[in-house]
Amino acid sequence: MPFNKIIAESMDLTDTYAFTGTVTGAGSNGLVRLGGANATGQNVGDVSFDLFTTDYDFYYVTFVVSYVSASNCWLRLRSSGSYLTASNYRQPMLGLRSDGSSRTIVHATSTYFELGSSAEAGASHNSHAGYLLFQKPMVSSKTTQLNIHCTVQDTSANVIDKTGGGIYMATGGHSGFGIMGSTNLDEYNIQVFGVSQS
């Protein structure tokens, strides 16, 4: 079979190509961006993403969110286009303030995962920022587990760093999540990635 070299400038990557055999080096494994949203100067109640499928076992999310005033920062799971509001959210988070005092968040039962309290976010530049790792959210026979890391400046100018996790205690497939709070969102930048298995 003759070897044909393709000059990169002559290949339109917006077209669809059918390949036979094995294609390597095409980035089929690893972190795959599935979607995201960012905006400033908003006044919205929540930002939601229904991007979970059975294609990925893990979902990695980066987030920065600010509120119109001091607010709790919450996360809820979604199923079939709606939020799950039953008291099945359980979580522990341990944290430390820059003044040396501790900050913990503990929920034995709740209707959301808490990323931060209203004492921790004031103006739009005192943002909750961090990352999340969802584990097998679409497996209907399993509970959805979540690793959480969040850093924020509180209303007294302390920096607070918290690490922990949560489990939605009822089994069931979850299609996505949303971030909200006790007041409306002002700014947000949330990006969702699927972790592709080798």
- The DSSP H or E segment spanning 122 is none
Mean pLDDT of 136-164: 90
Domain boundaries, the chain: 31-196
Average pLDDT, the chain: 85
Asked whether 143 and 18 are in contact (CB, 8 A), the reply is no
Q: How confident is the model at residue 162 (pLDDT cuts 50, 70, 90)?
A: very high
Q: How confident is the model at residue 11 (pLDDT cuts 50, 70, 90)?
A: low
Backbone angles phi, psi at 157, to 5 degrees: 70, 15
Q: Give the whole-angstrom CA distance, residue 144 versus residue 7.
A: 46
Q: What is the CB neighbour count within 10 angstroms for residue 61?
A: 22
Largest CA distance in the chain: 71
Mean pLDDT of 38-66: 93
Q: What is the CB neighbour count within 10 angstroms for residue 114?
A: 22
Q: What is the CB neighbour count within 10 angstroms for residue 180?
A: 22
Q: Give the whole-angstrom CA distance, residue 178 versus residue 52.
A: 12
Asked whether 69 and 118 are in contact (CB, 8 A), the reply is no
Q: Give the whole-angstrom CA distance, residue 139 versus residue 171.
A: 8
Residue 131, SS3 per DSSP: strand
Q: Give the whole-angstrom CA distance, residue 74 versus residue 6.
A: 50
Q: Give the whole-angstrom CA distance, residue 108 versus residue 165.
A: 12
Tokens of 127: 């943002």
- Candidate ranges 4-8, 23-27, 191-195; pick with highest mean pLDDT: 191-195
First to last CA, the chain: 30
Q: Give the whole-angstrom CA distance, residue 39 versus residue 25.
A: 34
pLDDT at 42: 87
- Tell whether the model's pLDDT for residue 8 goes beyond 60: no
Residue type for 198, please? S
Give every CB contact of residue 117 below 8 A, 6+ residues apart in sequence: 72, 105
Q: How confident is the model at residue 81 (pLDDT cuts 50, 70, 90)?
A: very high
Architecture of domain 31-196: Sandwich (2.60)
Q: How confident is the model at residue 89 (pLDDT cuts 50, 70, 90)?
A: very high
